[in-house]
Amino acid sequence: MSIEETEQQVLRWAYDRGIFAESTEVTRWEKFLEEVGELGDAICQADIDEIKLEAGDVLVTMINGLHPYGLDLETCLWAAYEKISKRTGKMVDGMFVKDKK
């Protein structure tokens, strides 16, 4: 199944469960942040199975958060890539620090 098909399945699941009818943009983003925290915990534990599951949960909640704005993962990922592809910077203490303009 393609990422686009999977995204549509996630949206069907969300509609079937009343996610959009019974929540707000704010509560959906709160859920996203909760899932990001759980992903961070899994990464700290170096548990690959849990990382995979929690990364998927992050994507599900991101799909649900983006949908009301007419956005999808591919559109947002491409927009971010176009921005970062022109970025310059350097690695500092294990993190990429972009050059100031």
Q: pLDDT averaged over the chain?
A: 95
Q: Is residue 16 part of a domain?
A: yes
* Residue given tokens 């549509």 in the structure block: 8
**Rounded average pLDDT over 16-44:** 97
Is 100's pLDDT higher than 90? no
Q: Which amino acid is at 79?
A: A
Q: Is residue 89 part of a domain?
A: no
In the chain, the number of structural domains is 1
Q: Is residue 95 part of a domain?
A: no
**Rounded average pLDDT over 25-54:** 97
Q: Kindly report the CATH number assigned to the domain that includes residue 13.
A: 1.10.287
Q: Is residue 78 part of a domain?
A: no
List, in sequence order, every residue forming a beta bridge with 95; answer none if it has no partner.
92
Report the pLDDT value the prediction gives residue 56, as an integer from 0 to 100: 98
Helix (H, G, I), strand (E, B) or coil at 89: strand
Is 1's pLDDT higher than 90? no
Is 27's pLDDT higher than 90? yes
Domain that holds residue 29: 3-73
Q: Is residue 26 part of a domain?
A: yes
**Rounded average pLDDT over 35-39:** 98
Q: Is residue 86 part of a domain?
A: no
Is 101's pLDDT higher than 80? no
* Residue given tokens 């927009």 in the structure block: 79
* 99 and 66 Cβ atoms separated by less than 8 Å: no
Distance CA 35, CA 65 (A): 12
Q: Which amino acid is at 47?
A: D
Q: Is residue 91 part of a domain?
A: no
What's the pLDDT tens digit per position in 43-63? 999 999 999 999 999 999 999
Q: Is residue 19 part of a domain?
A: yes
